[in-house]
Amino acid sequence: MNLQNITITLSETKKEKPQSDQLEFGKVFTDHMFIMDFSTGLGWHDPRIVPYQPITMDPASMIFHYGQSVFEGLKAYQTDDGRVLLFRPEKNFRRLNQSNDRLCIPELDEEFVLEALKKLIEVEREWIPSAEGTSLYIRPFIISTEPFLGVHPSSSYKFMIILSPVGSYYKEGIHPVKIAVESKYVRAVNGGTGTAKTGGNYAASLKAQEVSEKIGYSQVLWLDGVEKKYIEEVGSMNVFFKINGEVITPALNGSILEGVTRTSIIELLKHWNVPVTERKISMDDVRQAYLDGTLEEAFGTGTAAVISPIGEFFWNDEKLVINDGKTGELSKKLFDTLTGIQTGKLADPLGWVVEVSKENTFSVAR
């Protein structure tokens, strides 16, 4: 499949775009979306850009019953000189295919869908906000559509990309969050679906999130599902600790999602010659470092917030306050560097950003 196969139907009306300072996360969607269908025999087919609109689904569609689905999340940024940048988008489509494999969903042509995404972004060019901290959030996802109640991989799917202009994650500048360590509920376990971005993982996380919010904590820290000792992730972010000068993040163990931000931070720290280690780390280790006075910083990492400094852990009725509840130096430096690279304000030493070109020509069907 190549770009020429994509048909484009432009919307007759255009929605009003929200003000830069009133952007919320994931509530407003742009005028168009990309869709492509899969059916056994035909494979992936009929790629098209169409007006953003409701889809029609049989009530027996598998996604409603057996949750066979995957998704991705990334962002497009506008530079000061008007270019549009994506941050390592090939990694997201690579991960989407890894999720597909775990969920028995047919593989996508990664190069093609990246080109399709670029084309969609060009169509929605005016939707990319430019104020500090804003971006265009990109949500590629696949849902199973076969109307059949047997527990089997679906024979038909829809792959879609929708776009949402989003505001700064930190309305009042980067600031630390308070995290409750979750000791009852589990996000994922080795042999489960934790390494995939699939709906069920997020559905499973809602309850713990609800409980932690009730006691005044904005996210939970997930422990491993086997011993409930080792640290896995924070909310829907990966997590890092700076202990005695060394930066540590839990090793990929079969239940942790391999975040693009996580990978980039590890690479950046290595580039800076800062010691960084991927290993098993327990909540006991973190508490011991806290008691020893060597727990210097902790932060979550993910596409939405980029870096989310952690000011406090609540664990077994004890509060571990980190760096006086203030944003640490390394957290701040990583945040500034990553967002600087993403928005084209800083040089891109490791070759991460991909420019959305304007040179493609394509057929427009109306």
Please report, as ranges, the residues that interact with ligand PLP according to CB under 6 A. 73, 197, 233, 236-238, 257, 259-262, 301-303
| Cα–Cα distance, 229 to 284 (Å, whole number) | 7
Q: Specify which residues 278 forms β-bridges with.
A: 249
Could you tell me if 1 and 358 are in contact, meaning their C-beta atoms sit under 8 angstroms apart? Answer: no
Residue 69 as a binder of a second copy (CB under 8 A): the answer is yes
32: its two tokens: 């168009």
Tell me the closest approach of the beta carbon of residue 107 to a second copy, in angstroms.
Answer: 14
Number of alpha carbons in the 13 Å side-chain half-sphere of residue 51: 9
Residues recorded for the chain: 366
Closest C-alpha among 96, 91, 95, 85 to residue 36: 96
Closest C-alpha among 57, 56, 49, 10 to residue 33: 49
Residue 355 as a binder of a second copy (CB under 8 A): the answer is no
Tell me the closest approach of the beta carbon of residue 233 to ligand PLP, in angstroms.
Answer: 5
Give the residue carrying structure tokens 């509840």.
Answer: 325
271: its two tokens: 């580039």
Amino acid at 65: H
Site string for a second copy, 259-288 (x = CB under 8 A): ------------------------------
Q: Which is nearer to ligand PLP, 24 or 292 (CB)?
A: 24
Q: Which is nearer to ligand PLP, 38 or 222 (CB)?
A: 222
Q: Specify which residues 247 forms β-bridges with.
A: 242, 276
Residue 15 as a binder of a second copy (CB under 8 A): the answer is no
**β 43-51/7-8 pair status:** parallel
Query: Residue 190: which of a second copy, ligand PLP, none does it interact with, CB under 5 to 8 A by kind?
Result: a second copy
Query: Residue 259: which of ligand PLP, a second copy, none does it interact with, CB under 5 to 8 A by kind?
Result: ligand PLP
In the three-class reduction of DSSP (H, G, I as helix; E, B as strand; rest coil), residue 94 is classed as: helix
| Cα–Cα distance, 54 to 226 (Å, whole number) | 41
Residue 170 as a binder of a second copy (CB under 8 A): the answer is no
Tell me the closest approach of the beta carbon of residue 169 to a second copy, in angstroms.
Answer: 12
Residue 54 as a binder of a second copy (CB under 8 A): the answer is yes
In the three-class reduction of DSSP (H, G, I as helix; E, B as strand; rest coil), residue 177 is classed as: strand
In the three-class reduction of DSSP (H, G, I as helix; E, B as strand; rest coil), residue 233 is classed as: strand
In the three-class reduction of DSSP (H, G, I as helix; E, B as strand; rest coil), residue 321 is classed as: strand
Query: Residue 238: which of ligand PLP, a second copy, none does it interact with, CB under 5 to 8 A by kind?
Result: ligand PLP
Q: Which is nearer to a second copy, 228 or 332 (CB)?
A: 228
Tell me the closest approach of the beta carbon of residue 47 to a second copy, in angstroms.
Answer: 16
Tell me the closest approach of the beta carbon of residue 208 to a second copy, in angstroms.
Answer: 9
| Cα–Cα distance, 94 to 99 (Å, whole number) | 9
Query: Residue 31: which of ligand PLP, a second copy, none does it interact with, CB under 5 to 8 A by kind?
Result: none
Query: Residue 237: which of a second copy, ligand PLP, none does it interact with, CB under 5 to 8 A by kind?
Result: ligand PLP
Q: Point out which residues bind a second copy (CB under 8 A).
A: 25-27, 29, 33, 52-60, 63-69, 71, 102-104, 137, 139, 141, 143, 147-153, 160, 162, 164, 184-186, 188-193, 198-207, 209-210, 225-226, 228, 235-236
